Amino acid sequence: MVNNARFLILPWIRCKNLASSVLGMAARRLADDWETRYGVRPVLLETFVERPRFHGTCYQAANWSYLGDTQGRGKLDVHNQSLLPKKASWV
């Protein structure tokens, strides 16, 4: 599994379908590139989109699947507290 930690197209860039096109091209290349570099072929891509600040529209347009929202606890939480923003999970 490979995580897409950050994807940003600056707001003043105006090009129809740019985000979904770039995501699609990257996803198609990624498995071969990782196998060449690391000797491992990933089978899944994932990303998290902060809600309600962003909607994940570009992931939907690139045919990623929405899995649901996180609880807002983060991966290092040890006190079971929701201190972080909730995020949508896309694969």
Q: Among 35-39, 45-49, 56-60, 75-79, where is mean pLDDT lowest?
A: 75-79
pLDDT value at 4 more than 90: no
| pLDDT mean over 73-85 | 69
Give pLDDT, residue 12. Answer: 93
pLDDT of residue 41: 94
Q: What distance in Å separates the CA atoms of residue 66 and residue 33, rounded to the nearest whole number? A: 25
Residue 54 has pLDDT above 80, yes or no: yes
10-44, pLDDT tens digit by residue? 989 999 999 999 999 999 999 999 999 999 999 99
